[in-house]
Amino acid sequence: MNSIIRAWKLLEILKAHTDADHKLTQTELLGLMKQKEGSCTEKTLRTDLRNLMAVLNPAPEEYGERTDEFRIVYDGIGTEGQDRISGVRYVHEFSNRELELLIELVKSSEDMDREQCALLEDKLKGLGSCYYQYRTDSVKSVPRFSTINKEHLWENLNVIRDAITGNKKISFLFNGYNRDGALSPVRPRPYMVSPYYVLIYGMKYYLLANTEGYENASVYRLDLMSEAKLTDEPRKSIRDVEELKHVSPGEYMERHMNMNYDMPLTVTLKVRSDGYTVLHDCFGDHYTYKRAIDAGHDEVTVVCSQQAILDWAIQFSGRIEILRPRTIRKKILEKAQTLMQQYKN
């Protein structure tokens, strides 16, 4: 058999039959090779194995610097004249836990249909050894209803990528859905913006930009944009945009729940002692404990956009109360009075 084909079969065996918890002796490896080829010898096996390691592993002089890049490893070579390699295994590109994380991401994706998801899941499972079993097959995803046109979304994304790379502004119409389920412009003239980042939040894509004529940051959903065009006009420096010159995209999202883009402010909350779960769900550990108000309530502060914290506080009014600023308390009261009148009859 051709040495290249033989080496390829050897590599297939190592990928399929070894992992971090399963190794092969030279005798076991020879037995598996004979099942595939029939005429493999110990000498040929050792030669092929060493050739594979020479190709897939770092050069000897780089061992110390690139230990994470080894693909074929072994425990040792026999002593007293024996030339047997023991404990041979293939180092897979993804650990079992990493494969599970990737599969779970595929399961929760809104950008693929169920058939595509199943196909990709099978491919990911095949990246492990024969011993790998996906331990969370009981986890099932419920596809969310979505009217997003994926091709339209990718077209917008490509225009934005070109603009960010070329340091240019873009123009587009911004839309909302009408009663017929079609996108309809919210205003007749296009928006002109300086794009900086594309963010993924709640399985949707958002453009973080500066709108011409304003100093603050703006947020636009990519799937609601149409007629996006690259312009020749240079975009505004990010250093001239409030909120963006001192914060990272991640910090911006933390302070703008649900991608509300009004200016964030410090808000003092009264939290029930058993209400910290909703606080963690929305803010993680980005809150500051101040004091215990009484046996059942604490005072904490968060930094968040005004509109976002208002909606959130109403949603979780049974566990959260806004203490300050007074302006937000007043707006919640006005909202509650409006709702009371709306549902009175």
What are the residue ranges of helices labelled H in 93-184?
96-107, 114-125, 150-166
Q: Report the candidate in 212, 173, 219, 174 with the shortest Cα–Cα distance to residue 194.
A: 212
In the block, tokens 């108000």 appear at 293
Radius of gyration of the chain (CA): 29
Residue 73 corresponds to which amino acid? V
What's the pLDDT at 140?
Answer: 58
Contact 44, 21 (CB under 8 A): no
For residue 81, what pLDDT is reported? 45
Residue 33 burial (C-beta neighbours within 10 Å; 0-12, 13-18, 19+): buried
In the chain, what is the straight-line distance between the N-terminal and C-terminal CA atoms, in Å?
86
Under DSSP, is residue 137 helix (H, G, I), strand (E, B) or coil? coil
Strand 168-177, strand 89-90: pairing: unpaired
**Which residues, in sequence order, are CB contacts of 263 under 8 Å at separation 6+?**
216, 242, 243, 305, 306
Coil vs helix vs strand at 188: coil
181-to-152, 164, 176 alpha-carbon distances in Å: 16, 31, 9
Tens of pLDDT along the chain (345 residues) come to 578 888 889 999 999 999 988 999 888 998 998 887 777 888 888 888 888 988 888 887 777 667 678 899 888 765 544 567 788 999 999 988 888 888 888 877 766 677 888 888 889 988 899 888 766 555 555 555 556 677 888 899 999 999 999 999 999 999 998 888 788 999 999 999 999 999 888 778 899 999 998 888 999 999 999 999 999 999 999 999 978 888 888 888 777 777 777 778 899 999 998 889 888 888 888 899 999 999 999 999 999 988 889 989 999 998 999 999 999 999 999 999 999 999 987
200 CB-contact burial (10 Å; exposed 0-12 / middle 13-18 / buried 19+): exposed
pLDDT value, residue 324: 94
Cα angle, residue 287 at apex, residues 282 and 290 outer, rounded to 5°: 140
